Amino acid sequence: MAAWDLSVTVEELGPEAPPLKVSVTSDLHIGGVILKIVEKTQIKKDWSDHALWWEQKQQWLLRPSWTLEKYEIHADARLSLTPQHKPLRLGLPNGTTLRLQACFSRPVFQTVMGVCHLLNLRHPEELSLLRPMEVKKKKKDKEAEEEVVYDLTGLRTSSGPAHTLSNGMPMHFADSLQTEAVYKMLSVSLPAPAPETITKMPRPTSLMDKAQVHSRWLDSSRSLLQQGVQEHDRLLLRFKYYCFHDLDPKYDAVRLTQLYEQARWAILLEDVDCTEEEMMLFAALQYHIGKVSLSEPQPMTSCPAMDDLDSALQCLEVKMEAEESITADMLETMTVAPELQDYLKIFRPKRLTLKGYKQFWFAFNNTSISYYKSKEESLKEPIQQMNLKGCEVAPDVSVAGQKFCIRLLIPGAEGMNEVYLRCENELQYSRWMAACRLASKGKTLADSSFSSEVQNIQSFLAMQRTNPGANIAQTDDSINTYSLVSPRYHKKYKAKQLTPRILEAYQNVAQLPLTDALLRFLQIWQGLPDFGVSYFVVRFKGCRKDEVLGVTNNRLIRIDLSIGDVVKTWRYNTMRQWNVNWDIQQMAIEFNGNVNIAFSCVTATCKIVHEYIGGYIFMATRTKEQAEVLNQELFFKLTGGHEAI
């Protein structure tokens, strides 16, 4: 067989070097070609990660046993020998950027699997890579370059299941202090962003905007290089499918945190719409999570992995102590609750009379407040006793105006009684407020949460003192409320108007441990009506105007583009089949009862929509038992398609 020259570019020889010419025959297999090239370069290094890339055909030559003939490579082909893993800048849900080695030769689905394995993110099938929004103005380029990049290119994982240390950190992060810091950044939610950061970020204002986002997903069944991604490019790693399988705080420190970050940004940037009340609750949870993350160095201490002997021993000790302390505990709970007594002013807005505040001697007892004419009379019958169990407690506070009032709505048989208590100073206020809060939940002053409640209130009061304009990130007890809500509320409220609103919501979550708070945030997020809908602008067959197709984990939604109203929904479980006509980029779906729909995609390629639907169906096939094994074949079957040309 005749030998001919094959020209191959080798990166290692430098960018200016001319392509190498190797003499080959058509029946030479790829492995042999590589061997020849390597010999010719005379560079001694580990070439195992290198593979041949066929520039013109945008194709990797990954099968070493295939011959050049089989690949239909002739003398005019220009190949390059290049590493399969290249550094990539990866934007995480929490806004930070990592530099790490990603696979450029395998389908993106597997690239994501590799990245997730490295980052200790379980269930990589739920994530995918998104091209970042193109930066329009050149001014912003500078800022982008300024961003901190955490370098993880040196990190290598062992194959097989990741071994984790007792604190849940995978072994490979324990190499250096630097990587440990990166892991912490990954697994602990970041402090609240400065309000300016939020306002500067692009926000979707319409369904059209939201649909644009989804046009940027990479194709899971093709490789990065095939999709034009170059070394050192920046991509975003995001949760793509909104069904989070088997979320277990014990193993999912990074996953949970990143999920929370993605949810938080979705809320802050109004990607998902919510009501004002919900926004305040989200704000309260963010505040709480930020606060607890700071105080809890190990994020998941609440559920330590017991593979560590030390922790096991410790646990044992605690258990033994606990047994001994049962009696002590019992005694404690038996003791009478400590009392809170002071002169306060009371005001009952009743019958339209303007009596104003009057001073009495107040005593807190169990869940009731009694008041007397004076301290001396406190042994006699109280003027009135109010049981606060089940009542509503709201702050009416202005630090600047030195006004510290507690508004109580006390339920009675006849209705709710409105009562205002006025305290003299912050300390007094925070103690009485805490007591009222506990009492409203049926707890007494003896409850262990009393002192922490007092502290919470004090730190919240401190929020009011800070200058709302100051651009400070969250520190221990000062935070700008504008960092917790979407820009819409920056316009609507002053920062100090927000404080009491957030505080009100905060009282219901203040006692949650970190993990629970994260989960609660996610739950409320998932409970929003618009949660988990990915929008695509499509044109239905036979319709003249663009409409929106919403894809969720269990249904397809047809939405009117201009009004945003839901026109129709189809659930996946009534779906019989779907087909893609790649030529005319049209999807046809058949549902039970002879319902047929067909549409072409406007904002995204047909492949993205097809992959989204197929992906969700794939997600639904997962069961708890097979949690560990990922059925890749099925995923590609359901989401792949036109590559098989």
Nearest by Cα to 183 from 112, 120, 245: 120
CB atoms within 10 A of CB 116: 19
Please report how close the Cβ of residue 532 comes to another protein at its closest, in angstroms. Answer: 10
Residues 6+ apart with CB under 8 A from 403: 396, 397, 422
Nearest CB to another protein, comparing residues 473 and 634 = 634
Nearest CB to another protein, comparing residues 80 and 511 = 511
Nearest CB to another protein, comparing residues 198 and 461 = 198
Please report how close the Cβ of residue 343 comes to another protein at its closest, in angstroms. Answer: 29
**Opening angle at CA 442, ends 440 and 448, nearest 5:** 105
Q: Cβ distance 100 to 88 under 8 Å?
A: yes
Please report how close the Cβ of residue 335 comes to another protein at its closest, in angstroms. Answer: 11
CB atoms within 10 A of CB 628: 8
CA dihedral of residues 320, 322, 324, 326 (deg, nearest 10): -150
Residues 6+ apart with CB under 8 A from 129: 108, 111, 112, 217, 218, 224, 235, 236, 237, 238
Residues 6+ apart with CB under 8 A from 150: 96, 97, 98, 99, 182, 185
Nearest CB to another protein, comparing residues 146 and 323 = 323
Please report how close the Cβ of residue 606 comes to another protein at its closest, in angstroms. Answer: 13
Please report how close the Cβ of residue 347 comes to another protein at its closest, in angstroms. Answer: 19
In angstroms, what CA-CA distances link 429 with 340, 344, 386, 395, 425?
12, 10, 18, 10, 6
Residues 6+ apart with CB under 8 A from 523: none
Please report how close the Cβ of residue 553 comes to another protein at its closest, in angstroms. Answer: 8
Q: Cβ distance 495 to 481 under 8 Å?
A: yes
Nearest CB to another protein, comparing residues 183 and 591 = 591
Nearest CB to another protein, comparing residues 374 and 621 = 621
Side chain identity, residue 300: M
Q: What share of the chain is helix, strand, coil (3-state, %, to 5)?
A: 35, 25, 40
Report d(CA 633, CA 607) in Å as an integer. Answer: 17
Please report how close the Cβ of residue 429 comes to another protein at its closest, in angstroms. Answer: 23
- 3-class secondary-structure state, position 123: coil
CB atoms within 10 A of CB 484: 28
Please report how close the Cβ of residue 484 comes to another protein at its closest, in angstroms. Answer: 16
Q: Which residues bind another protein (CB under 8 A)?
A: 243-244, 247, 270, 273-278, 281, 326-327, 330-331, 333-334, 390, 392, 411-416, 488, 508, 519, 522-524, 526-530, 554, 564, 569, 572-579, 582, 592, 614, 617-618, 620-621, 623, 634, 637-638, 641-642, 644-645
Q: DSSP string covering 478-513, please?
A: ---GGGTS-HHHHHHS-HHHHHHHHHHHHTTTTT--
Nearest CB to another protein, comparing residues 169 and 556 = 556
Nearest CB to another protein, comparing residues 312 and 566 = 566
Nearest CB to another protein, comparing residues 303 and 519 = 519
Please report how close the Cβ of residue 229 comes to another protein at its closest, in angstroms. Answer: 26
Please report how close the Cβ of residue 644 comes to another protein at its closest, in angstroms. Answer: 6
Q: Cβ distance 470 to 483 under 8 Å?
A: no
Report d(CA 270, CA 480) in Å as an integer. Answer: 19
Helices (H), 296-414: 309-334
CB atoms within 10 A of CB 590: 16
Report d(CA 344, CA 334) in Å as an integer. Answer: 29
Q: Which two tokens stand for residue 373?
A: 């004419």
Nearest CB to another protein, comparing residues 232 and 488 = 488
Please report how close the Cβ of residue 21 comes to another protein at its closest, in angstroms. Answer: 35
Nearest CB to another protein, comparing residues 90 and 127 = 127
Please report how close the Cβ of residue 413 comes to another protein at its closest, in angstroms. Answer: 4
Nearest CB to another protein, comparing residues 50 and 122 = 122
Residues 6+ apart with CB under 8 A from 501: 280, 493
Q: Which two tokens stand for residue 274?
A: 């919510």
CB atoms within 10 A of CB 40: 15
Nearest CB to another protein, comparing residues 295 and 594 = 594
Side chain identity, residue 458: Q
